[in-house]
């Protein structure tokens, strides 16, 4: 069974979100960035600190690169719908993944890496930007882990 078929065969619950802060170590950042891991922040610390509105959510990866974010009964905002559609795909021998339109969870269209896929869980790591104390953008790596429902 291919990795895409494994994703399509199950429903996936978001369980952790880690932010890794990165430091630029040389090279032309527009063409050949070289990054070094500086620190990792794990907001879960062994507890379920997910927002209540995320705890009943899950993703369905469907055929033809379509997907649904089922938001469950507890909504994160008044205008959140029950079913948020997104697109997804795998490339580079199932090492790379894209997820577009899943702003409710990822906050952006994301191209990243499929990490540690098993029959029961996988992680998706993708770059993003956050503001530092001086309100300057810094690059981070988000890693969201999903468990089979």
DSSP letters, 47-106, are S--S-HHHHT-EEEEETTTEEEEE--SS-SSTT--SEEEEEEEEETTTTEEEEES-HHHH
Confidence (pLDDT) at 58 = 95
- Give the pLDDT confidence of 41-68 residue by residue, as tens digits: 555 555 677 788 888 999 999 999 999 9
**Which pTM was predicted?**
0.81
Confidence (pLDDT) at 77 = 87
User: Looking at the predicted structure, is the pLDDT value of residue 37 above 50?
Assistant: no
3-148 is a CATH 3.30.70 domain: no
Q: How far is the C-alpha of 105 from the C-alpha of 101, rounded, in Å?
A: 10
Beta-bridge partners for 59: 12, 69
What the block records as the tokens of 120 is 């029961």
- Domains of the chain by residue range: 3-148
């Amino acid at each position: 069974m291919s990795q895409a078929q494994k994703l399509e065969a199950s429903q996936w619950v978001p369980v952790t979100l880690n932010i890794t802060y990165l430091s630029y170590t040389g090279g032309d950042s527009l063409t050949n960035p070289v990054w070094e891991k500086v620190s990792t922040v794990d907001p879960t610390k062994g507890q379920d600190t997910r927002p209540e509105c995320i705890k009943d959510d899950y993703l369905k990866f469907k055929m033809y690169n379509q997907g649904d974010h089922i938001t469950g009964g507890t909504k994160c905002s008044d205008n959140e719908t029950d079913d948020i559609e997104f697109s997804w795909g795998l490339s580079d021998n199932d090492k790379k993944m894209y997820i577009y339109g899943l702003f409710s969870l990822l906050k952006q269209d994301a191209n990243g890496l499929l990490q540690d896929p098993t029959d029961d869980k996988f992680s998706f790591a993708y770059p993003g930007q956050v503001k530092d104390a001086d309100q300057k953008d810094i690059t981070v790596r988000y890693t969201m882990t999903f468990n089979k429902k």
